[in-house]
Amino acid sequence: MADQTFRLPDLGEGLTEAQLVAWRVQEGAHVDVNAPLCDVETAKAVVVIPSPWAGTVQKLHARPGDSVAVGAPLVTIAAQGAPASAEPAAEAAPSTLVGYGPGGPEAGIRRRARVAPSAAVEPSTDVRAAPFVRQMAKEKGVDLAQVTGSGPGGRITKADVDSAAAPAAAASAPSTDGERRISVVGIRKAIARQMVRSVSTIPQFTEFAIFDATNLMAAREQRKASGRPMTPLPYFIAGVVKAVRAYPLMNSSWDESRDEIIVKQPINVGVAVNTSQGLLVPVLRGADKLELEAIAEQSAHLVDGARAGTLPPGQMSGGTITVTNVGASGPVETGTPIINPPECCVVAFGAIKPRPMVVNGQVLARSGAWISISVDHRIVDGALATEFLTALVAELESIRA
C-alpha cells in the first residue's frame, strides 16, 4: 500500500471552491472504490464525492464547514494495489488542474468557526430536512425535532440549524454587542455575487401586466378531473416559450468584450426555485422542443431535485431566459425580478386569484395574475418589451383545455 492524497476535483462549470458539508468516512476506516467520501456544497448544488481508490483512510484534510479550493488536499488514503515504493502523493509535487495553480498540503482550505457539539444528537426521521442539513444538525448537537423549519412546507434549512445552535455559540464565544456573524460560502455566496453582477453591470427596466387566467384555471380543473393534475408553472413556461419564438431577441445576451448581441438558438428556461439552500435556478433545456406534458414532467423533476439538493452542477447552468413564480410562495401580487446574468430577460408571475375585470362592458370577478418582466436595456427597448409582454399575455389567455 502507498499513501495517495485525493485533491478536490474540478466539479465543472468554472467552480473554484466548495464547502465541505459532511464526511461519510472516518480516519482509520476502510473505503471501497466509488464509495461516498463526503458531501460538498458548490455554488450550484450539493455533490457527493466518491473515493477514487480502495484502502484505509489515513487523514481527512478538512472539517465540515471548511471552504476547500479546487486542487487542495481532501483526503489521504493508504490505497490497496499501489506499489509500496511509490512516493506518497502528499509529499510529491501537487497536481495542477486546468485553470488552477499548485497548492501546499493545506493550501486552499479556509477554516470556519464551528460550534463544538455538546453531544451527538440523532435527528428525528419525522422532520423535513435535506441529508446535509441533518448531518450539520448532528455535528452541532441540534435536535431537529425541536426546530421549526422556515423553508417551503416547513422544511428545516441550514439557517434554522445555525439559529438553533446560536445559544451554544454564544456560550462558547460571548458577544458584547449582540451581533451574530454568518459565514457566507457555497450557494449563498454565489447568489450574492450574481445579484451584484446583475444590478451593477446590466441597465435593466421592468414592465407589468395583468392576464386573465380563466382559461388556464379551467384547463387545470379539467386535467385534475381526469386524474392528471398540473400546476400553473408548465403553462407559464409554455407561454414564455411561444412568446420568445415571436420575439427571439428576448432569448439573447450581451457580449461585453465585443459589444455584440448574441441571440441564442435553443430556448433553455431557467426555473427559479426557493430551497433551503437559497434561490436556485435549474435549467429546462430545449424547452422550445417540448410539449406541455414533457414541460410539466421535466420541470417538476428539476424543482424536486433543486429542493432535495440532488441536481448535478450541469443542470444549474446554461439558461437563456428565466421564469420565477413568486405567487407560489404566498399572496404576492408582483415584484421587480432581477435578471440572471448573462441572460436578457426574467419573467415573474404573481398569485392567481379572483380580480375585478371588465368583460363585454360588465365588471366580473375572474381569475387573474400579474406578470412582470425585467429586461436588459442594452438589448431591448421599451417598445419591444411591451410587444413581448403583450404576446405573452395573449398566449396565456388563449389556453384551451
- Name every residue whose Cβ is closer than 8 Å to that of residue 368 and which is 6 or more positions away in sequence: 210, 211, 212, 213, 214, 352, 353, 354, 355, 357
CB 282, CB 316: distance < 8 Å? yes
Q: How far is CA 289 from CA 194, 238, 268, 283, in A?
A: 29, 10, 10, 14
Closest CA to 48 of 131, 114, 126, 120: 131
Determine the Cα–Cα distance for residues 235 and 351; give it in Å rounded to an integer.
Answer: 14
30 catalytic? Reply is: no
Of the candidates 165, 135, 130, 131, the residue with the CA atom closest to the CA atom of residue 147: 165
What would the grid cell of residue 267 be?
A: 430556448
Running DSSP on this structure, what letter comes out for residue 85? T
Cα dihedral across residues 169, 172, 178, 181: positive or negative: negative
Rounded to whole angstroms, how far apart are CA atoms 192 and 207? 24
Report which secondary-structure segment, H or E, holds 296.
helix 292-308
What is the C-alpha to C-alpha distance for residues 297 and 241, in angstroms, rounded to an integer?
Answer: 16
* Catalytic residue set: 377
